[in-house]
Amino acid sequence: MLALALAAVVLGSMVVASAGVAAAQEDQSDAEVRIIHAVPDGPAVDVYVDDELVFEDVAYGEASDYQSVPEGTQTVTVTRANDSDTVVYEDEIAVESGQTTVAVGGEVAGDIAAVAPSDDAAPSDNESAVRLAHLAPDAPAVDVTVAETGDVLFDDVEFGNATEYETVPAGEYELEVRNATDDNDGEVVQTVNVTVEDGEAYTAVATGFLDTEEAPVDEQFTVEVYEDQTANDTE
């Protein structure tokens, strides 16, 4: 229970940066924020802001919708999903304007990591933007290459880190996730097929466990791809 509470606190502390209320005062700037739950053995959570339920029953592998959040300090409470009496985190958090994805991964009884990159990609009409968040706790640093060409898309990405956006032509890709090496030719640990569209942006999240026999849950290493808002969406 202590480990669970600790994980929930870390999850909550990052989730909170993305939490918000539906309506803002006219003299306040708004933030557009969402959360991605990438803790395989973590519980589903509800998030309240100033006693208002904002994110409900966000489970492993899910990305919440973006919510409009008034800029400023908010009181945030994180509970187990559908159990408002079991409070695992509560604090006041400053929310800044802009678009943000908060992704939390790792393992309840081990390392928990969170990334909160800005969703600031502005791809042109004939390209796509893609980034990688490495949140798989027992995976080494990884390179990501394009299977067909061998081109390196991401280089030496360590657990708990997110890359900047890279632009690519729209289309279908088979990507190879490799153990990171100097020559980007390490063992392929996973392949993922991705389709990206013109003018869109995506976050690819590495999650799960390479060694499921030693893992607390049977959630294998995978790469999930989520469509992001872009800077173009707010223009």
Per residue in 85-109, pLDDT (tens digit) is 988 767 777 677 888 888 888 998 8
Q: Look at residue 110 in the predicted model and tell me its pLDDT.
A: 84
Query: Which positions ≥6 away from 134 have C-beta within 8 Å?
Result: 141, 142, 157, 158, 159, 160, 161, 162, 206
- The overall average pLDDT reported for the chain is 84
> Which residues, including other chains, have CB under 8 Å from residue 178's CB and lie 6 or more apart?
142, 143, 144, 145, 184, 185, 186, 187, 188, 189
pLDDT exceeds 70 at position 32: yes
At 150 the pLDDT is 94
How many other C-beta atoms can be found within 10 angstroms of the C-beta atom of residue 16?
26
Helix, strand, or coil (residue 175) = strand
Q: How far apart are CA 39 and CA 137, in angstroms?
A: 9
* 184 and 137 within one domain: yes
Helix/strand/coil for 41? coil
153 & 109 share domain: no
Q: Write out the two tokens for 149.
A: 């060409």
Give the pLDDT score at 227: 97
Query: Residue 186 above 70 pLDDT?
Result: yes
In the chain, how many domains are there? 2
Q: Is 67 domain-assigned?
A: yes
Listed ranges 64-78, 90-104, 128-142; the one with the highest mean pLDDT: 128-142
Domain extent for 172: 128-234
Answer whether residue 196 shows pLDDT above 90. yes
Would you say residue 72 has pLDDT above 80?
Answer: no
Question: Are residue 221 and residue 133 in the same domain, yes or no?
Answer: yes
* CA 69/CA 106 separation, integer angstroms: 26
Please name which of 201, 203, 224, 234 lies closest in space to residue 127, comparing C-alpha atoms.
Answer: 201
Task: Mark whether 191 and 139 lie in a shared domain.
Answer: yes
pLDDT at 19 over 70: no
Residue 10, pLDDT score: 42
Are β-strands 83-95 and 142-146 bridged in parallel, bridged antiparallel, or unpaired? unpaired
Residue that is last in its domain, among 115, 149, 172:
115
Helix (H) or strand (E) holding 40: none
- Structure confidence at residue 18 (pLDDT): 43
> Residues 3-15: pLDDT tens digits?
344 344 444 444 4
Per-residue confidence (pLDDT) for residue 108, from 0 to 100:
83
The more confident residue out of 213 and 90 is: 213
9 and 95 part of one domain: yes
Q: Which of 85, 115, 145 is the last residue of a domain?
A: 115
Overall pTM surpassing 0.95 (yes/no): no
**Domain C-terminal end among 115, 139, 168:** 115
Query: CB within 8 A of 194, min separation 6: which ones?
Result: 130, 172, 173, 174, 175, 202, 204, 225
CA angle at 148 for the pair 143 and 151, rounded to the nearest 5°: 40
